[in-house]
Chain A
Amino acid sequence: MRTLLLLALKNVRGAGLRTWLNVATLSFGFVTIVWMQGIYEGMMRQMVTAQIDTEYGGGQFWHKAFDPFDPLSFEDAHGEPGDALKKLVAEKKATPILLRTGAIFPNGRAQSVVLRGIEPTQEIVQIPGGVLLREGEALPGLIGKRMAEATGLKKGDTVTIRWRDVSGTFDATDVEVVEVMNIAVPGLDAGQLWLPLRTLRRLIGSAEATTLFVTEKGYVESHIEDPNFVWKNNDFLLSEERAIFESKKAFGYILYVILMAMGLLAVFDTQVLSIFRRRREIGTLMALGVTRSEVVGLFTLEGSLHGVLALFAGALWGIPILAHAAKIGIGLPKMSDNMGIAIGARLYASYAPQVLVVTLCVLLCSVVVVSFLPARRIAKMRPTDAIRGKG
């Protein structure tokens, strides 16, 4: 077997330019695929981290009537928690959030918003609520960059808001934008106006109203039974984002297939050609006492060596690029917004070892298969024909 490996190495080296073309195409595919997977993995991680840091914490307790996709539900989706939840809040292991729908009138045009009441001093989620502690003539309000862009509001601007209180009566007041914050999660930014929780409760006329409680990061789900609130863990909370993400990933698979198809076709073509051109050599090997299956093995090995060489070549030129994508990251202006998931301004590739190993194995195996398929033909050759360059 060692003999055949040496012979295969010599043959591959002897094939010169063709070998290097195959290796180049394959290694390009290998590196690009690993790179793309790193990007997706990085995206996923950043998205999950951002969601947990700014929105989900260690999970949430939702008011029974709360449906995040139905703003109409916000009107009734609030209530008072039981003692256990109150205790959790008192221990600073959870923080209450109140959601209401309303409208703002920037430049006199009406636009519907979600009013988000948050405890300014909370430290559970990374919302810079501290700025809402400011006293002023108008109520303090906080918006994100996307919201600022969509409404034309700037820090220091005053805007009229309108809402309905618990009895259904419309009311209006002015809010001053005390800060425009930079927040990765689009859902906490676009169409959202953050107010101090106490203020929002006062506006709607319900002192204890809460839509949901965010628990601290790493909160261990203890079975809190509450008449009004139900536990939602992060698996549930992130399922929407994960679904969006998977659909993006599916696009990646199409690219993988195209990239690999290029490399695999090149190898396949080389195999078919070299088996055709080297029939005489195949016959000679058989005459010298090499068995058919060994010759099939030899040619499979030769084809597979392209994959192995591509792996080395890819490591050589790919690792610096891959490392750069992980360390320095890639600037993605606004791309995260278009994708509808939270990524942030820079994307850092992340390579999961298992994914990497599985990917490289799959890639190598496909090279082996593509090398083997044409080589099977050899087993059907008659030595007598092959020696004369026929068959």
Chain B
Amino acid sequence: MENGLIIELKGVSKSFAIGGGREFLALKGIDLEIHQGEFTGLVGPSGSGKTTLLNLMGALDNATEGSVRVLGRNVESFSHTEAAHFRKESIGFIFQSFNLLPVYTVFENVEFPLLVAGVAAEERKKTVTQALEWVGLLDKMYSRPTQLSGGESQRVAVARAIVKKPRIILADEPTANLDAENSHNILRTMVKLNQQLGTTFVFSTHDQKVIDYLRRKITLVDGRLFKDEALTPKLAGNDK
């Protein structure tokens, strides 16, 4: 199932200006390959560079050094507009804090990526309904984000990330604000997606619950790739 190479990092470093003319090196010479259909997690202590790495893969930020190839394209050389188009077409993001658009209903939030991509109305309705069915939120279609629980909000965010069927979904601590039950719920949905659509998932997490679902665990320490291990998921996605 793991065939094509879709994320390829070579000698990637990322430094941040931290004032006084000094720089902080958040990532140091990272070499990493991720293949189509992986269910991979980046773990490591706080500040080890997990989010930074995810941001580079998602073309939200540029590497200071090295090359970042995603889906065969050199992300590090993108202009802002190119990066935006790339994200629109190929990447789904899930954030720790859900980041739903507050004035939109659940349906409209999920619909938004399709609107931006210029999908026709009928097709949109069908796809959004499908995505909401996936995450089990059809009955909350017309609710607003403020009316949702944390678990429901994150499910909307998942639906929004998957609705355009991106090749890659990058999830930055998606369960950090959820309780155990909701976490499992979300994770099972993601495993299902991964298995049925072949979507590649890359997580950043501290959460053992997430780690239990992973098939590959990449440990970062202090901006360096410390360990890269294959796992046998303790928990399967298909159990109801």
Chain A positions near chain B (C-beta within 8 angstroms): 3, 7, 10-11, 13-14, 280-281, 283-294, 382-384, 387
Contact = CB atoms under 8 A, between A and B. Distances in A.
Contacts of B49: none
Nearest to B79: A291
B60 interface: yes
Contacts of B113: 288-289
A290 B115 contact: no
Contacts of B51: 384
B117 A289 contact: yes
B115 A3 contact: yes
A287 B61 CA distance: 11
B80 A387 contact: no
- State the main secondary structure of chain B at its contact with A: helix
Given A11-B103, A281-B102, A288 B97 contact: no
A3 B114 CA distance: 10
B116 A290 contact: yes
Nearest to A379: B80
A288 B116 contact: yes
Given A383-B61, A387-B99, 13 more contacts: A3-B115, A7-B104, A280-B97, A283-B99, A286-B87, A287-B93, A287-B95, A289-B89, A289-B91, A290-B88, A291-B85, A384-B60, A387-B95
B81 interface: yes
Interface in B53-101: 55, 58, 60-61, 80-81, 84-89, 91, 93, 95, 97, 99-101
B231 to A, nearest CB: 28
A281 B145 CA distance: 13
Nearest to B97: A280
Contact of B55 (A7, A290, A384): A384
A232 to B, nearest CB: 65
Contacts of B134: none
The 4 closest A-B pairs by CB, nearest first: A289-B88, A14-B103, A291-B84, A284-B99
Contact of A3 (B93, B95, B116): B116
Nearest to A280: B99
Contacts of B84: 286, 289-292, 294
A18 B73 CA distance: 45
A3 B117 CA distance: 10
Nearest to A288: B113
Interface residues of B, number: 29
Given A287-B93, A387-B60, A292 B80 contact: yes
Contacts of A288: 87-88, 93, 112-113, 116, 160
A286 B58 CA distance: 11
23 contacts: A13-B103, A14-B102, A14-B103, A280-B99, A281-B101, A284-B99, A284-B100, A285-B101, A286-B84, A287-B60, A288-B112, A289-B84, A289-B87, A289-B89, A289-B113, A289-B116, A290-B84, A291-B80, A291-B81, A291-B85, A384-B60, A387-B95, A387-B99
Contacts of B87: 286-289
Contacts of A384: 51, 55, 60-61
A3 B121 CA distance: 12
Contacts of A291: 80-81, 84-85
Contacts of A286: 60, 84, 87
A289 B93 CA distance: 10
B131 to A, nearest CB: 14
A348 B230 CA distance: 86
A284 B156 CA distance: 14
Nearest to A3: B115
A293 B84 CA distance: 11
Name the residue in A10, A280, A287 with the highest tally of chain B Cβ atoms < 10 Å from its Cβ.
A287
Contacts of A10: 103-104
Contacts of A292: 80-81, 84
Nearest to A388: B97
Contact of B61 (A3, A284, A382): A382
Nearest to B93: A287
A280 B98 CA distance: 10
Interface in B110-135: 112-113, 115-117
A274 to B, nearest CB: 11
A146 B97 CA distance: 78
A382 B16 CA distance: 12
Contacts of A3: 112, 115-116
A285 B60 CA distance: 12
A290 B85 CA distance: 8
